[in-house]
Amino acid sequence: MTLQRRLIFAVLLAAPLAWLIAIAGTYWRASHEINELYDTDMLRLAQQTIAVAALIPASATSVPAPAPARSPASGDSGDAGLGDLSVAIWRNEGAPLVLDPEALQFPRAAEREGFVDSIVNGVPWRLVYLDDPSGQTRVAVGQRVGERNDLVVAYIASQIVPWLIGLPVLIVLLIIAVRRAIKPVHDLSQQLERRSPDDASQLEIADVPGELRGLVKAMNGLLARVAALIEQERRLTADAAHELRTPLAALRAQWDVVQRTGDPAQAQLARTSVTRGMERLDRLVSQLLTMARLDSTNHSGFDRSVDWRAVAEQAVGDCLWIADRRDIDIAIEWPEAGVLPLPMAGDETALTIMLKNILDNAIRYGPRHSQVRLRFSAAQITVDDEGQGIAPEILPRLGDRFLRAAGNEESGSGLGVSIARRIARNHGMLIRFSMRDAADDFGPGLRVSIMRGA
């Protein structure tokens, strides 16, 4: 069931219910006011009758009921009638002085005074009893209850008829109002339905109702994230295609040399080149997959403390083969006893990749027969090598995808630092590059610092 149908059904139920409640309230209020009005008139008539009764001779015992009076020919009595109102007068214990035929049936009820609801000849009557100050004269004024009910019903009927006519009109107007109120939702749905899959432009929010602005803002945020992911995928695909083209072309050329050459030395050299190209290609594909996985995830809410000793052991172990090949020593320095190295929560597997990439770069691009130092402290992690460093114009660009300084003999793809920075950012950390001078305890060279972000 759509939201529009739910609102229309709610209106169809609520409008008649509200109408019935209003009718019930009107009936109760009208009954109260009409009863109060008639009771006031009956009480005033009883008081007037007490005053007039003093003029009746004491010797009178009974007054016969007069014949119904005829209306003058020149007059118009309208809908007036006296059959629903009667008056009785009692003197001491004598028979009533009857002013109306119906009053002959009124009970004297000497013990009652004020208003009484009674049944006279099977008909409900409303009676009011009043005694004069001497207690010798008693007056009863009665009115048929049906007269009051007829007036209440007539009043309610006069109200119900316009309401019955107006209720369908009200329901139609409410349905139209609901449809107009839901129209922005339909417009938004159609706008999204007409969009192409790669259209990540922001939705217009100026003419959106206030109730939908939160939804539209959330959708705009989602579209922005989707656009960023699409752009990352496009950039990664383009970069990967560009980077894979070179090693594949080199492998094909070297393989052709192996197939066609008759010189064993040249064939061996070509095989060596093919092997190195395969290693570079394997490393490139592995880093591309790692980068794609990091681009598609956003880690947050880590709940496990990082064991940096285990992370360092794994990262150094993964770099030993290249360190042995280049005859480079890896020195690890830990803080003094009782001080935790860079306490934080995170993903140890990802942090191992981050630290391994930083160490791998320091080993690959540092001078042979040198040393790389990995130092831990409570505030940061630093990796130092004994190389000549990096040109000042390249230093700010470190971490860009596929960036490699010219003149490097080692194979690489330029993704290691970019991957490390992405992992650090997911953990709320920063990676900074700086040059050490000769005054440093480790001598001049490049320093990579890993620290908490601002």
Structure-model confidence comparison of residues 13 and 287, the more confident one: 13
Whose tokens are 């000793």? That residue is 309
Query: Which of 159-168, 274-283, 405-414 reaches the highest mean pLDDT?
Result: 159-168
**Predicted confidence band of residue 243 (pLDDT cuts 50, 70, 90):** low
Average pLDDT over residues 11-40: 86
- In this model, does residue 29 exceed pLDDT 70? yes
Average pLDDT over residues 177-195: 80
Whose tokens are 């700010």? That residue is 396
Pairing of strands 445-452, 429-436: antiparallel
Residue 340: φ, ψ to 5°: -80, 135
Average pLDDT over residues 184-188: 78
| Residues 6 or more apart whose Cβ sits within 8 Å of residue 178 | 4, 7, 8, 11
User: What are the CA-CA distances from residue 330 to residues 314, 322, 326, 380 (Å)?
Assistant: 13, 11, 12, 18
Structure-model confidence comparison of residues 269 and 205, the more confident one: 269
Average pLDDT over residues 227-238: 73
- Residue 387 and residue 377 in contact, taking contact as beta carbons nearer than 8 Å: no
pTM (2 d.p.): 0.45
The alpha helices in 86-209, defined as continuous H runs, are: 145-193
Structure tokens at 315: 């990262």
CA distance 200 to 47: 88
Average pLDDT over residues 257-280: 78
- In this model, does residue 68 exceed pLDDT 70? no
Structure tokens at 444: 């001049």
Percent of the chain with pLDDT over 90: 9
- In this model, does residue 295 exceed pLDDT 70? no
The whole-number pLDDT of residue 78 equals: 44
pLDDT digits (tens, 9 = 90+) for 152-167: 888 888 877 777 787 7
